[in-house]
Each structure stands twice: as C-alpha cells, then as structure tokens.
Chains A and B, each alone.
Chain A
Amino acid sequence: DAGITQSPRHKVTETGTPVTLRCHQTENHRYMYWYRQDPGHGLRLIHYSYGVKDTDKGEVSDGYSVSRSKTEDFLLTLESATSSQTSVYFCAISSGARLGAEAFFGQGTRLTVV
C-alpha cells in the first residue's frame, strides 16, 4: 500500500471554528490533492498541489485553504467551518500524469460540523 495517511480520521466540530486536516505521504510524490465526497456524489476536487508551495484551486475551493511547506505534508484548512462542509474528505498523491502514473488515495476523514 502507498504510504499516505490522513489525520484525523473522524472529527466533530462546531460551526465557526477553524479546522485543519492533514495529509502525510512517505512516497515523495510531487502531486497532492484534497477532495470532498458527499452522499450520492462523486469526488469533487477542492485544491491540489504540484510542488512545495505550489497550489491551485479545484472545483469547490470556496471556504477552504491549503498549504504545502514540505513535500510530505498537505494541509487543508477550513477557516470557519459551516454545516455545508460536513463531508468525507479524501487526500490523494501522484507522481504525475506523465507516463500515466496512478494516483493513490487515503482512507478519508469524516468531518461533521454541528
């Protein structure tokens, strides 16, 4: 299994509080991604990173920020959590699409905002 770890795995937080989710990899892959998945929906890309300090927005980036200060860690921050951000969050890593490299996914973080 690819070395990718998400923490925490479960979190309940109150509306208006800041929340940070961590994705940690041991594969030295260049690309890292954050997705959210809501019931009955596929994965929607929030933000992704193509290198240290290099990030870009995905499909649903409003209300989220990210940081990548070192290769192995990609942090997703909800500055002020809202109930609409209750979801399962997945992190993924990849060495890149060149030559068709596959992506590996974490086990997910279930976040509940009450």
Chain B
Amino acid sequence: DAKTTQPNSMESNEEEPVHLPCNHSTISGTDYIHWYRQLPSQGPEYVIHGLTSNVNNRMASLAIAEDRKSSTLILHRATLRDAAVYYCILRDGYNTDKLIFGTGTRLQVFP
C-alpha cells in the first residue's frame, strides 16, 4: 500500500485559512486521495477526496499537485470545531481496498 507523510501537528487561529499538506510520492495511477478527520471522542468522518483535479465541497478544498505526489487540504476559514486529527489516505480504486490510516496531523485552532 502506498504511504502518506503528514506533519504531526499544526496550529491556526480562528477564521484564518489552514493548509494541511500530505506527501505521497509512491502514489499509483489508480490511487484516490482521501481526507478524513477525527474529532475528539468520535469516529473518523469523511472530508473530501480526489483523483487528479482539484476538488471543492462544503467542508474544504483539495489541491492536488500536477504530478500527484502531494496534496493539500484547505480549510478556508478555520473554526474551533475544526480542531481535529486530519488523515490523508490513498485508496486503490481497482485492487485491494484496505483503507490504511497513517498517524495524521493534529490541528489546533486558537480563538
């Protein structure tokens, strides 16, 4: 399974944009890039995913590098509720679907 690398932690102030990076240099052509987040004492929840093009939804934006070896999750205006651990995951679209998590980035948001 292709691996991802994320910083252990990041900080932001409320209402500022947050850019969470993820490196996945061994990504294959059939790997989708998924982001999940886990709020305290809850199960993970889906945030966004993409394959090649940048994606936007109501929660966030996903910017994917042209060579697909890295991506960035963008929270446009951080709120206190966005404080969570964010996981970047690669999911093979055509073969095994083990859904392996890494250690993620713990985002702290300050008022």
Contacts and interface: CB of A to CB of B under 8 A. Distances in A.
Contacts of B44: 43, 90, 92, 103, 105
Interface residues on B, range: 20 to 34
Interface in A84-106: 90, 92, 94, 96-100, 102-106
A41 to B, nearest CB: 7
Query: Which range holds the interface residue count of chain A?
Result: 20 to 34
With most chain B CB atoms within 10 A of its CB, the pick from A41, A58, A96, A102 is A102
Contacts of A64: none
Given A58-B98, A103-B99, A97 B93 contact: yes
Interface of B: 32, 34, 36, 42-46, 49-51, 85, 87, 91-94, 96-104
Interface of A: 31, 33, 35, 41-45, 48, 50, 56, 58-59, 90, 92, 94, 96-100, 102-108
Nearest to B95: A97
Contacts of A31: 97, 99
Given A42-B103, A92-B43, A94-B97, 13 more contacts: A31-B97, A31-B99, A42-B102, A45-B99, A48-B97, A48-B99, A58-B98, A59-B100, A97-B92, A100-B93, A102-B34, A103-B36, A104-B46
